[in-house]
Structure 1
Amino acid sequence: MTDPGVVVRDRRGQVSGVARRIPATLVFIGVLLVLGLVSEALWRPLADGPWREWVAYGVPAFEQGRFWTPITGTFFFSQPWFYALIPVGFAGFAYLEFRRGTRVVLTYFWIGQLVAIVVAALFFWLFAMTGWPWAQMQAGALDAGPGSGLMACMVAAIALVPTPWRVRGLFILLAGLLVATLFGGRLADAEHLLAAVAVLVVDRPLRLRKATIREKRLIAFVGILALGAITVLVALVPTNGPFGKTQPLSGSIGDVLFDVVVILLIANGLRRARRLAWLVAILLGLVNLLAAAIVLLLVGAGEQDDVTLVLGGDPSTEIATAILWLLMIAYLIVYRGAFRWRRTAKLGASPRPDADEVRQQLQAHGGGTLSWMTTWDGMRYARTPTGIVAYQVHAGVAVALADPIGPEDGRAQAAADFATMAEEAGLVPCFFSSQESTRAAVPDSWRNLIVADDTIVDLPGLEFVGKRWNSARTAMNRATREEMTFRMSRLVDESWGIKAQLRGISEMWVGDKSLPEMGFTLGTLDQALDPEVRVALAISPNGDVDGFLSWLPVYGADGVVRGWTLDLMRRRDGGFPPVMEYLLGSSALHFRDEGAQFMSLSGAPLAHEYPPDAGPIAVLSDKLAEGLEPVYGFQSLHRFKEKFHPRYETLYLLFRDESDLTRIAAALTRAFLPGATVRQFAGAGLELVRGKS
């Protein structure tokens, strides 16, 4: 048991270590709180005290010669409630200092703060002379606080986040600042936007041209939904932006409803790369731009009262929203290549591969322990210039099984090409039960989860001698005493009676489960009828089949079978008790004598041995294994396979990022249980509950 005192000391050490790496953050917060206490800004607005004229910055301060205010104003907040936001406001500051050091964070902060204050003041001073009401109002306003510098640090901190979250975070932040400026219109809003833009221009972390097709579609999806939300928001709350003030429900409710309904209809189509959705979005944006252009012409002609009467409110929101639509249209046109999906499109080049060609490729170039499963019914095939990828499509996800098929030196490129093809078709690409070679082939930004450990038994020199083989040896000796017979055969060559017995055993096994027989990487007797598949039979003295196994071939690059993969494991109730140990041991010796190099006992799902510091993934895997044990017994199966002392090769789920996992989980559920009904899922849930009680 861990000593609580040791845990407390460790935590104190961790906190102390973090504090030593963010001194500027701690000093800055301390200064803000002390000055807030001294100036009474902690409990009353800065404008109500005597300090405002000497510390607040803005055009009036510069006109009166108070050029020190950009520095002094940084250490005061204009409103007391801003002090409550210090933890949020300094999050980016602290993260940037922790990652890149004190000197870097102070550089970003002060450049962002000073550039935003000075440029904003210059902008409003110049445009106030034109008579622009918004510019005149902000030219007379004063502001205080470190917000612009903190915003610059936030942008720089998000730029350190790995892709694709970097692009998403920057896009959301920039969109929020733009909306705040257009519809809030405060001096501080404009300053924050300028600080963020300054960092984006200098560092250029938001490089959309280098973003993936998927990211470009996701930005369009989020952007169009944001436009819908903004349309509703500005109709319900007052605004005071660059184009004037509005009151709640002052505009045309019909126009708002029309825009929102169309946006809801096309948003998911943009995410799925539907060309029609892209076209409708362009047309909707053009309609909004046309309406705003007409409003501007009428206002310019001095007909604002008539425009207000027609619109039922102030035309300012029409103009502000049009600016957002203009940006959306420009984005959709620039990145139009990301929205070329056609309903008839199929992945890969022609001619389309079929299962027979996949077999020929496996026999000519070899494959992995799961490769023969790609020849089963239900698989689709994508031809790439360097290979073939077998996959299924469920819930908008293209789930590639195992590794690409074809010449070994072209498999990595085939994996990369398949991912691109799937994205261009509007599908979510992923690879299931892939080996390390495919993991190395996908983009560096992809994530991976360990889904199983392939259990490999090396056959050359295998002998069941010594204490470690006691279980297998005991089963085989007992089988000899009880006159059991082992036969390695092909199911297609067996008699009708043997086939009927095997089908009866399988149906009885499936009948004991709440869910139907699984598919995808788990075969059935239909797959065992393949002439290339071997079946191992344990036959009792009276001729009954007490158990059987099916074995899938694993070809080498020389066209010779170099190993076998276990698929079906079935036993008769009330038959020979250690029939599985007997069948596996006898199969191993049989394949060894034939010259095979190994036999795979297949993957052990959710049974990977994680290191102690593996973190949440290991915890999640253990919880899933524990929860599914009453239904499928993965852990029991893993412990059984350990009797044959296999070595382990990791199998991965490869995917783009965590936001895909929900859809991938739904796709894998349908792949493994394509015929499962809601009632069967409910029955499995009850079985899980009973297993935990």
Structure 2
Amino acid sequence: MSNTIAFAGRYLRSVPLSIAFAAIIVVTALVTGTFFGEASADTQAYWSAGVITVVEMGRWYTIFTALFIPWDPFQLIGCVLAALVLMGVAERILGRRRLIPVFFATGIVGVGLGVLVQWIGSLAGEWWADGTSADLTMDPLTPIVGSLLVASAFMGPLWRRRVRLVTFGLLIMFALYDGDTSTVYRLIAAIAGVVIGHFLSARRHRIVLLRSSFGEVRVLIAAIVLITAIGPLISLLNPDGSGAFGLAGSFYGDIFPSAADIDDFCSTATTGVCDDMQRLAALGGVGPVVQTFVPLALLLVSAWGLRKGRRFALWLGIVTNLALIALAFVFLGLVVSLAAGVASADDSATELQPVDVGEYIVWGGSTVAVPLAVAILLFVTRKRFQIRAPREAFIRFLVVVVGALAILSIVNVGVGAVTLDSYSPPGTTIVELVFDLPRRFLPVTLVGVTGDVVVPAAGVALFVFQWIGPVFWLIFTIASFQLLTSTEHAVKVGDHQRIRALLRRGGGGTLGWMTTWPGNVYWFNEAGDAAVAYRVINGVAITMSDPVCREGDDEATVRAFAAFCDAHSWTPVFYSVHENVVPVFDAMGWQRMSVGEETLMHPQSLEMTGKSWQNVRSALNRGVREGMTTLWTTYDELPRTMIAQINAISEAWVSEKELPEMGFTLGALEEIKDPDVKLMLALDAQGRIAAVTSWLPMYRDGVPVGYTLDFMRRADESMSGTMEYLIASAALHMKDEGVEVLSLSGAPLAAAPVASGEPEPEPTVMTGLLEFLAKTLEPAYGFSSLFKFKAKFNPTYSSIYMAYPDPLALPTIGGAIGRAYLPSMSPKEAVSLVRTLVR
């Protein structure tokens, strides 16, 4: 908590202009009264910008004052937050001297050019400008957006692309589907910001077209689908908006006329049009209203799957958009027929006005052209979406969907057969119910103009009639989501032998043998001489150890694996990598952080002399006095009696803990059964096992040159200091064997002690988080205690790192690593863990 407060303090001290602007708009809101409610007529006349105030009243200064006064309390809150965050980011990147002119330039251009465009358009009779020329605007967000877009030119490629994508996506969506003047002014300011930023940055003499990775292209396409899906909701929430795509909102919500509306309408409309309205009204109800949002739900699922690169999401998006085109033709046909009916009933309105025709062309074109363009885009970029679900998952999806369709259809027909007399029109037969069945699963806008509709009277039949469609599409949506999350991760035949062969040749570092553990799958390069072990959790591909490759091939291996993950829409995370690989990630522009310290000993130079070794020597001497011996062996070489003792010691250790046993980089009983893994046993005077340790090999050209400590268990009745005795004995044995490196393994969340005279590193939010986690988990797992225990052996320290490409993915990465360490935590164990942490 203190670190978070310290970071917030440092951040706020670095953005004084942003804080000052936030304070200014609070003051102007108090002075003008917008702090308590919407701007009054006098405030609008004197301080807001628009064609009326700037052009007709000649109050040109309002182009400036509109940048400092919020319209109402809601905008005030949003602008204060935007000033502190978005403008703060721009201030930190641009600096104070550049921020001030950039702020005014983009704000004045956005409002001033926007007013000019509106005025010229209204004179020309352009429908949007003419419809909004009376609107007035006060919007401090306009210069904030412009400043952020200028600052984006100074960001790295990843953040520059993301900031611009998100900002322009939101602005264009609101401009098209709502069309209010404030959004258009912000859009102009954002465009001005990009132009100004281009000339201010080092890239002013050249236009750089950034090549996007598969993942970034997928983000862009998914964002387009998301915008076209959510956009109609904006026009639905604001039916009086002036957006070009405003008619799209008419497809959703309660489109059913009331009885009074039908009576009024039918008194003047033609018989055919009146019949259409009555058929539509007969389909009203909560269920049919819910069903109008089915295309929206499917497009949201499609956008999510497209972000993951899923093939099913591609075709779901294409089919849904084509269905929207059909819906648009039917709906627009209904609108035109209604308009024609009204016109024929009113001699004074025998034809539509030219402006009305223009609006119908624009609105009608948007409801057809937009989904058609999205469908074409998805089809053209289909090669970017190649990830297919496993065959079993697709079969399960078909069974669920077809089964749900069949069951719901049977229920509808069965209930209808029992209550057949309640249906309208009278005389409805079961055959007609069966033929009418497909329309229960279509959007009601289509149903209402596709012939006679059979509708039951109120009761169970009407409930079933109205809800089987929404229930089916709910099941379909959930099943689609499950299908999109299904991924096949299986170790291929021969992969275990291949990874072991590469490890024996050399590579992978001191933690490399952990890649052979269950739970990992393997990627091999095209030549087959490099590999990476990983596991995919929540879309995060977590690797284990350094890349398994020849010296000097680290960069090529990392880049190839990252491209492999990108093609599968996974976030690659290299976990527990060493300092020698860090330059590769720095060159790629990735982020990295220390996730622990590895403690190393060097047996060939080992001399247990001096005061610092006193505790270890005491344990060695005591063990000798009590008749303890050691055995360097493998699990397969042990007699059954010793195997039973090891199992008993391990089970006793586990049973004493209410907490779940951790995995991932922490081996358990199964991992010691590997024939390449060595065991060092401590035997008491009676030959019973007092303690057991396992040692993972590290090879070079087929010869073991190092070992890494993994499994550690001690019998309850063994002497104090047994583990020190055993590790020291192992180190001395390795010295005799010519072993170069002995690793006591990594200590998660630990930090090496700072040498005397060296300054403490400046804390960051992430280091503060790691420190908090280390303190919190200490009562449960004793990471710090284990780290201090290993310090008895006077090791050298080597930081182990986690490298990742996207800092925004850190929450997901953290959750995935947590599941990797605790993959099978039961509810009881979770409660025990929480209880331990809060003690």
Alignment TM-score > 0.5, same fold: yes
Q: 1:122: how far off?
A: 4.4
Aligned to 1:372: 513
1:685 aligns with 2:834: yes
**Matched-pair contact (CA < 8 Å) for 1:116–1:194:** yes
- Distance (Å, rounded) in 2 between the aligned partners of 1:72 and 1:264: 40
1:361 aligns with 2:407: no
Aligned to 1:614: 763
- Distance (Å, rounded) in 2 between the aligned partners of 1:319 and 1:50: 39
Structure 1 stretch displaced more, 505-514 or 115-124? 115-124
1:123 corresponds, among 113, 117, 120, to 117
Q: 1:211: how far off?
A: 3.7
**Matched-pair contact (CA < 8 Å) for 2:169–2:223:** no
Q: 1:303: how far off?
A: 6.8
Aligned to 2:413: none
- How many residue pairs get aligned? The number is 672
Aligned to 1:181: 175
Aligned to 1:482: 626
Q: 1:50: how far off?
A: 9.0
Aligned to 2:739: 596
Q: 1:86: how far off?
A: 5.4
1:623 corresponds, among 750, 761, 772, to 772
Q: 1:275: how far off?
A: 0.9
- Distance (Å, rounded) in 2 between the aligned partners of 1:371 and 1:62: 70
Q: 1:452: how far off?
A: 1.7
Letter matched to residue 450 of structure 1: S
Aligned to 1:104: 98
Aligned to 2:695: 551
Letter matched to residue 149 of structure 1: P
Aligned to 2:214: 213
Structure 1 residues 454 and 17: alpha-carbon distance in aligned structure 2, compared to 1, 3 A threshold? closer
1:342 aligns with 2:388: yes
Query: Where does 1:187-266 land on structure 2 (aligned, <5 Å)?
Result: 187-200=181-194, 203=197, 210-243=211-244, 249=253, 251=255, 253=289, 256-266=292-302
1:459 aligns with 2:603: yes
1:633 corresponds, among 782, 796, 817, to 782
Q: 1:158: how far off?
A: 4.8
**Matched-pair contact (CA < 8 Å) for 1:46–1:52:** no
1:52 aligns with 2:45: yes
Structure 1 residues 119 and 323: alpha-carbon distance in aligned structure 2, compared to 1, 3 A threshold? farther
Structure 1 residues 151 and 463: alpha-carbon distance in aligned structure 2, compared to 1, 3 A threshold? closer
- Distance (Å, rounded) in 1 between the aligned partners of 2:8 and 2:515: 50
Determine what percentage of the aligned residue pairs are the same residue.
29
**Matched-pair contact (CA < 8 Å) for 1:93–1:157:** no
- Distance (Å, rounded) in 1 between the aligned partners of 2:376 and 2:196: 23
Structure 1 residues 266 and 89: alpha-carbon distance in aligned structure 2, compared to 1, 3 A threshold? closer
TM-score (norm 2): 0.70
1:434 aligns with 2:577: yes
Q: 1:325: how far off?
A: 4.4
Aligned to 2:80: 87
Q: 1:199: how far off?
A: 2.6
Structure 1 residues 510 and 135: alpha-carbon distance in aligned structure 2, compared to 1, 3 A threshold? same
- Distance (Å, rounded) in 1 between the aligned partners of 2:77 and 2:220: 32
1:151 aligns with 2:157: no
Structure 1 residues 109 and 320: alpha-carbon distance in aligned structure 2, compared to 1, 3 A threshold? farther
1:605 aligns with 2:748: yes
Structure 1 residues 579 and 136: alpha-carbon distance in aligned structure 2, compared to 1, 3 A threshold? same
Aligned to 2:348: none
Letter matched to residue 484 of structure 1: M
- Distance (Å, rounded) in 1 between the aligned partners of 2:131 and 2:156: 41
- Distance (Å, rounded) in 2 between the aligned partners of 1:422 and 1:498: 44
- Distance (Å, rounded) in 2 between the aligned partners of 1:46 and 1:681: 53
- Distance (Å, rounded) in 2 between the aligned partners of 1:143 and 1:213: 41
SS where residue 509 of structure 1 aligns? helix
Q: Which runs of 5+ in 1 are unaligned?
A: none
Q: 1:380: how far off?
A: 1.5
**Matched-pair contact (CA < 8 Å) for 2:12–2:19:** no
Computed over aligned residues only, the root mean square deviation of the Cα atoms, in angstroms, reads 4.2
- Distance (Å, rounded) in 2 between the aligned partners of 1:487 and 1:78: 78
SS where residue 426 of structure 1 aligns? coil
**Matched-pair contact (CA < 8 Å) for 2:174–2:234:** no
SS where residue 146 of structure 2 aligns? helix
Structure 1 residues 334 and 321: alpha-carbon distance in aligned structure 2, compared to 1, 3 A threshold? same
Aligned to 1:572: 715
- Distance (Å, rounded) in 2 between the aligned partners of 1:546 and 1:13: 53
- Distance (Å, rounded) in 1 between the aligned partners of 2:782 and 2:631: 28
**Matched-pair contact (CA < 8 Å) for 2:600–2:744:** yes
Letter matched to residue 171 of structure 1: L
Structure 1 residues 357 and 616: alpha-carbon distance in aligned structure 2, compared to 1, 3 A threshold? same
- Distance (Å, rounded) in 2 between the aligned partners of 1:503 and 1:389: 32
- Distance (Å, rounded) in 1 between the aligned partners of 2:234 and 2:36: 31
**Matched-pair contact (CA < 8 Å) for 1:76–1:145:** yes
Structure 1 residues 278 and 482: alpha-carbon distance in aligned structure 2, compared to 1, 3 A threshold? same
SS where residue 210 of structure 1 aligns? coil
Letter matched to residue 281 of structure 1: G
SS where residue 269 of structure 1 aligns? helix
**Matched-pair contact (CA < 8 Å) for 1:216–1:335:** no
- Distance (Å, rounded) in 2 between the aligned partners of 1:516 and 1:157: 48
SS where residue 720 of structure 2 aligns? coil
Letter matched to residue 113 of structure 1: G
- Distance (Å, rounded) in 1 between the aligned partners of 2:741 and 2:342: 81
**Matched-pair contact (CA < 8 Å) for 1:514–1:631:** no
SS where residue 292 of structure 2 aligns? helix
1:395 corresponds, among 538, 541, 549, to 538
Structure 1 residues 426 and 307: alpha-carbon distance in aligned structure 2, compared to 1, 3 A threshold? farther
**Matched-pair contact (CA < 8 Å) for 1:45–1:79:** yes
1:272 aligns with 2:305: no
Structure 1 residues 447 and 262: alpha-carbon distance in aligned structure 2, compared to 1, 3 A threshold? same
Q: 1:626: how far off?
A: 2.8
Letter matched to residue 41 of structure 2: D
**Matched-pair contact (CA < 8 Å) for 1:353–1:381:** no
Q: 1:544: how far off?
A: 0.8
SS where residue 408 of structure 1 aligns? coil
Structure 1 residues 113 and 132: alpha-carbon distance in aligned structure 2, compared to 1, 3 A threshold? same
Structure 1 stretch displaced more, 104-113 or 196-205? 196-205
Structure 1 stretch displaced more, 637-646 or 334-343? 334-343
Q: 1:25: how far off?
A: 8.0
**Matched-pair contact (CA < 8 Å) for 1:213–1:424:** yes
Q: 1:94: how far off?
A: 5.2
**Matched-pair contact (CA < 8 Å) for 2:253–2:290:** no
Structure 1 residues 320 and 103: alpha-carbon distance in aligned structure 2, compared to 1, 3 A threshold? farther
Structure 1 residues 45 and 358: alpha-carbon distance in aligned structure 2, compared to 1, 3 A threshold? closer
Q: 1:228: how far off?
A: 4.0
Structure 1 residues 583 and 296: alpha-carbon distance in aligned structure 2, compared to 1, 3 A threshold? same
Aligned to 2:654: 510
Q: Which runs of 5+ in 2 are unaligned?
A: 202-206, 257-288, 345-358, 392-486, 754-759
Aligned to 1:562: 705
Structure 1 residues 359 and 14: alpha-carbon distance in aligned structure 2, compared to 1, 3 A threshold? closer
**Matched-pair contact (CA < 8 Å) for 2:387–2:568:** yes
Q: 1:451: how far off?
A: 2.0
- Distance (Å, rounded) in 2 between the aligned partners of 1:35 and 1:519: 57
